[in-house]
């Protein structure tokens, strides 16, 4: 498994003079010796882990009394592993190692202890049990619970909180009895001998995933069958167990499970795994595990659905565990009930901001289901279900937080009102008063006003990085890998505090003008939810640009961003220059050697009732000698400059496979046929002729700003090329920027623009 996302882990937290920091568990190896002759159990467990991105005192949990402990092979006082109150309520303590450890350092903690009833919250219909009976016989039930604290793997073995995923190897040996026992588990079992088993739980399991039920064989019955699932084609083995003499017909229950697995996979995507284990435990209700359940017949449908939402994708923290119960309850009722949100209702908290919360909120079922009914009313039932399927398929086998759910729904559906719904009915925030005034700079001199009359197409508060490294210099996106969007969000000092907001990032794969909110901004590639931005503060946020959404080399990606918050949304129909919650970066960076040129195709749009628009070429004032031209297929476009036109001249075609110098593309070539946004280089004249065959070019005078009226009717659009040549003899290392701006006719308001930055480099003599 990849390393965990520490952004969903508890933050470094000062507790009792220690700095509790999250860890990544690599492996837990446990040996449990059960002795029927003495009715005792002993555990010997080693937890190997790596310290996360902050040095400090590692945090973990274990709800047993530690008798002996070793750190990296050296005996330590168990008192150095004490439990600490972290302010999240009863039974919500964590253990903290009273030893400071370095970032990225790897360590092993070994524990020896008498295994017994966990020091956890023991409520519920099916609590954890380790008990002995005549025979001697043992019953060991993990008894996991969402609604009671300390009831996952930590009840029995050292574990992390549920953001982490790691393999567990468990050896169980039962001695002092001749009574055969059966092991019910969702792990892979190897029989080592009579009443002696090895169980491997895979590395994608979270602490809430493993199932163990150890019972005397004469107290349980088993049946097995299999089913071929319709989406994945996986043959899933179904293991059904019940208490001897229990009322359930296992053949009937297996058939029920087959139908449920088929329906759920058809609706929501591939089942995770190739086994499904059911234990009908004789109690009310049920509990989900990864590809498994301890359940009653009445709860089987609910618990089986959790193999998609709860254990197929898992909640990232206990505060996030509302969404799987809410959506499962919504699904229990048919997943077809839409009930609009009523913003006159009081706020409802489903997801707290408590980092160490250890219980699923009790209102997750009722208010959680109501939340999804409200989302269904906003989106429509069909879109909600398809979007939840996409969430499952995107994160299958991994944790999902409430903010990740919100980001996914907003990005995929383009519905900004969802931000209001999460604000009030998931996070439980009241309406802000006064309203916040969030904004992004359009230019270095922009102070936050909604209306901005100067250049706005190269926002300094919007940039791209090739890795999530926190850098603030814009980089051209690299094809074939994840990239990262960045935005610097500001809250005006004159506004109110913002408890919750979402930044959306959209990419247009062409240079263009007059982008309109929301249709050009939403749906979007990525979104990022954040909290608690005070008046006068600014915060840099980032969001992943998935590799499958990064355009191919040679494409000009125009970046658009919006900020969404309750009481502070952009108005529909507005442009970047009309609302400070909107920003764009229409910047292309290319490398040229002296004498070469680039043509950037730009989509012009006229949203007025007038018959023309005005283009302006802004030269770099330090380099007036740079040759700049506008290119179009029709002479009629340039209404007042026809005497200055000449045919577009391209060099002879000499294919040179040595370069595509637009960006580092990992050796991948661009598509053979350029799209509208494709950048055209002089070393590939075949592509230029494909885009601009029989075109003319208008040489632009060497003034700092040159206006060019163009004939473009109301509502019409066209593609014009901005051609820039690196002069012969220009010194390598020189950088210059050219802007092409669009105004309304008559030279009024700027309505669009692009920036083309050329970096001059030395000619490749080895080619």
More confident residue, 508 or 140: 140
Report pLDDT for 657: 40
Q: Indicate the average pLDDT of the chain.
A: 92
Dihedral sign for Cα atoms in the order 357, 268, 229, 259: positive
Instruction: State yes or no: pLDDT of 404 exceeds 60.
Output: yes
**Mean pLDDT, rounded, for 362-370:** 98
Q: Please, which residues have CB within 8 angstroms of residue 38's CB and are 6 or more apart in sequence?
A: 176
Residue 463 has, within 13 A of its CA and on its CB side, a CA count of 18
**Mean pLDDT, rounded, for 451-455:** 90
Partners of 289 in the β-ladder: 292
Report pLDDT for 560: 97
CATH T-level assignment (fold) for domain 438-585 = Immunoglobulin-like (2.60.40)
More confident residue, 611 or 102: 102
Report pLDDT for 3: 73
Q: First and final CA of the chain: distance in angstroms? A: 42
CB-based contact 455:446 (threshold 8 Å): no
Confidence at 676, pLDDT banded by 50, 70, 90: very low
Instruction: State yes or no: pLDDT of 739 exceeds 90.
Output: yes
**Mean pLDDT, rounded, for 530-534:** 98
Torsions phi, psi for 385 (to 5 deg) = -65, -40
Report pLDDT for 383: 97
More confident residue, 642 or 487: 487
Under DSSP, is residue 646 helix (H, G, I), strand (E, B) or coil?
A: strand
Q: What is the pTM of this model?
A: 0.91
Instruction: State yes or no: pLDDT of 446 exceeds 70.
Output: yes
DSSP state of 673: S
Place of tokens 């009792």: 16
CB-based contact 456:753 (threshold 8 Å): yes
CB-based contact 320:401 (threshold 8 Å): yes
More confident residue, 511 or 103: 103
Strands 735-743 and 750-760, sheet pairing: antiparallel
Q: Report CA-CA distances (Å) from 231 to 305, 383, 426.
A: 16, 20, 32
Residue of 330, 252, 363, 263 lying closest to 297 (CA atoms): 252
Residue of 221, 183, 185, 169 lying closest to 34 (CA atoms): 183
Report pLDDT for 684: 82
Which range (280-289, 370-379, 535-544, 744-753) has the least confidence? 744-753
Dihedral sign for Cα atoms in the order 459, 460, 461, 462: positive
Instruction: State yes or no: pLDDT of 670 exceeds 80.
Output: no
The domain made up of 6-179 is a member of CATH 2.40.50: no
Alpha-carbon gap, residue 84 to 51, rounded angstroms: 19
CB-based contact 578:698 (threshold 8 Å): no
Place of tokens 């030269």: 619
Report pLDDT for 510: 74
Alpha-carbon gap, residue 408 to 414, rounded angstroms: 10
Instruction: State yes or no: pLDDT of 567 exceeds 90.
Output: yes
Q: Report CA-CA distances (Å) from 616 to 337, 558, 601, 710.
A: 54, 19, 15, 10
Report pLDDT for 503: 98
Report pLDDT for 677: 52
Report pLDDT for 593: 92
Residue range(s) occupied by CATH 2.60.40.10 in the chain? 438-585
Convert the pLDDT of each residue in 457-498 to its tens digit: 999 999 999 999 999 999 888 889 999 999 999 999 999 999
Instruction: State yes or no: pLDDT of 511 exceeds 80.
Output: no
Convert the pLDDT of each residue in 576-633 to its tens digit: 999 999 999 988 888 899 999 999 988 888 888 888 889 999 999 888 889 999 999 9
Convert the pLDDT of each residue in 433-443 to its tens digit: 999 999 999 99
Confidence at 205, pLDDT banded by 50, 70, 90: very high
- How is the chain split among helix, strand and coil, in percent rounded to 5? 15, 35, 45
Instruction: State yes or no: pLDDT of 374 exceeds 90.
Output: yes
Convert the pLDDT of each residue in 551-560 to its tens digit: 887 677 889 9
Instruction: State yes or no: pLDDT of 652 exceeds 80.
Output: no
Confidence at 5, pLDDT banded by 50, 70, 90: confident
């Amino acid at each position: 498994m990849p390393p965990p996302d520490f952004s969903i882990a508890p933050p470094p937290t000062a507790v009792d003079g220690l700095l509790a920091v999250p860890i990544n568990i690599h492996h837990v190896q446990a040996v449990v010796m059960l002795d029927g002759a003495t009715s005792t159990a002993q555990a010997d467990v080693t937890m190997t882990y790596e310290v996360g991105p902050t040095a400090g005192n590692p945090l973990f949990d274990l709800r047993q009394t530690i008798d002996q402990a070793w750190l990296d092979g050296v005996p330590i006082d168990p008192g150095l592993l004490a439990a600490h109150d972290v302010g999240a309520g009863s039974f919500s303590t964590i253990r903290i190692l009273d030893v400071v450890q370095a970032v990225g350092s790897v360590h092993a903690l070994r524990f020896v202890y008498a295994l017994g009833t966990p020091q956890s919250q023991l409520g519920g219909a099916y609590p954890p049990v380790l008990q002995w009976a005549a025979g001697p016989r043992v019953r060991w039930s993990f008894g996991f619970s969402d609604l009671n604290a300390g009831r996952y793997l930590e009840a029995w073995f050292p574990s992390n909180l549920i953001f982490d995923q790691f393999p567990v190897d468990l050896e169980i040996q039962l001695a002092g009895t001749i009574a055969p026992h059966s092991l019910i588990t969702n792990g892979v079992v190897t029989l080592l001998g009579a009443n002696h088993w090895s169980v491997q739980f895979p590395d994608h399991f979270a602490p809430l995933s493993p199932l163990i039920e150890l019972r005397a064989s004469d107290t349980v019955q088993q049946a097995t069958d299999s089913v071929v699932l319709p989406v994945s084609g996986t043959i899933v083995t179904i293991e059904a167990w019940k208490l001897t003499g229990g009322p359930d017909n296992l053949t009937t229950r297996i058939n029920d499970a087959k139908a449920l697995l088929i329906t759920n996979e058809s609706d929501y995507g591939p089942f995770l795994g190739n086994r499904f284990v059911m234990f009908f435990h004789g109690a009310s209700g049920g509990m989900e595990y990864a590809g498994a359940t301890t359940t009653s017949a009445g709860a089987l449908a609910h618990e089986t659905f959790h193999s998609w939402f709860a254990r197929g994708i898992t909640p990232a923290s206990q505060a996030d565990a509302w969404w799987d119960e809410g959506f499962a309850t919504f699904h229990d009722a048919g997943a077809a009930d839409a009930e609009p949100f009523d913003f006159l209702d009081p706020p409802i908290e489903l997801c707290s901001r408590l980092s160490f919360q250890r219980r699923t909120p009790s209102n997750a079922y009722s208010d959680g289901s109501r939340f999804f009914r409200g989302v269904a009313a906003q989106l429509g039932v069909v879109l909600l279900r398809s979007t939840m399927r996409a969430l499952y398929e995107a994160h299958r086998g991994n944790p999902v937080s409430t903010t990740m759910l919100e980001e996914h729904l907003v990005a995929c559906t383009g519905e900004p009102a969802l931000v209001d719904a999460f604000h009030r009915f998931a996070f439980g925030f009241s309406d802000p008063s006064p309203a916040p005034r969030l904004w992004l700079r359009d230019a270095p001199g922009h102070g936050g006003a909604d209306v901005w009359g100067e250049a706005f197409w190269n926002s300094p508060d919007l940039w791209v990085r090739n890795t999530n490294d926190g850098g603030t210099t814009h980089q051209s996106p690299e094809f074939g890998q994840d990239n990262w969007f960045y935005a610097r969000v500001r809250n005006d000092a004159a506004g109110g505090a913002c408890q919750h907001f979402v930044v959306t990032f959209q990419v247009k794969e062409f240079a263009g003008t007059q982008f309109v909110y929301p249709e050009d901004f939403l749906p979007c590639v990525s979104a990022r939810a954040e909290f608690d931005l005070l008046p006068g503060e600014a915060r840099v946020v980032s969001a992943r640009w998935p590799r499958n959404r990064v355009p191919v080399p040679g494409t000009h990606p125009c970046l658009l961003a919006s900020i969404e918050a309750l009481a502070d949304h952009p108005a529909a129909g507005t442009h970047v220059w009309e609302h400070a919650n909107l920003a764009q970066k229409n910047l292309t960076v290319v490398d040229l050697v002296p004498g070469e040129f680039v043509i950037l195709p730009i989509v012009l749009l006229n949203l007025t009732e007038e018959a023309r628009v005005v283009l302006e070429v802004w030269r770099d004032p330090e380099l007036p000698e740079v040759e700049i031209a506008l290119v179009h297929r029709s002479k009629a476009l340039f209404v007042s400059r026809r005497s200055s036109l000449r045919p577009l001249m391209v060099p002879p075609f000499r294919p040179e496979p040595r370069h595509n110098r637009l960006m580092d593309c990992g050796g991948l070539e661009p598509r053979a046929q350029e799209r509208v946004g494709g950048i055209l280089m002089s070393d590939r004249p075949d592509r230029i002729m494909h885009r601009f065959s029989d075109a003319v070019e208008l040489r632009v005078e060497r003034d700092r700003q040159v206006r060019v009226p163009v004939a473009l009717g109301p509502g019409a659009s066209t593609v014009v090329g901005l051609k820039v040549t690196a002069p012969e003899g220009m010194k390598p290392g020189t950088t210059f920027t050219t802007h092409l701006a669009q105004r309304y006719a008559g030279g009024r308001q700027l309505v669009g623009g692009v920036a083309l930055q050329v970096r001059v480099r030395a000619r490749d003599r080895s080619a």
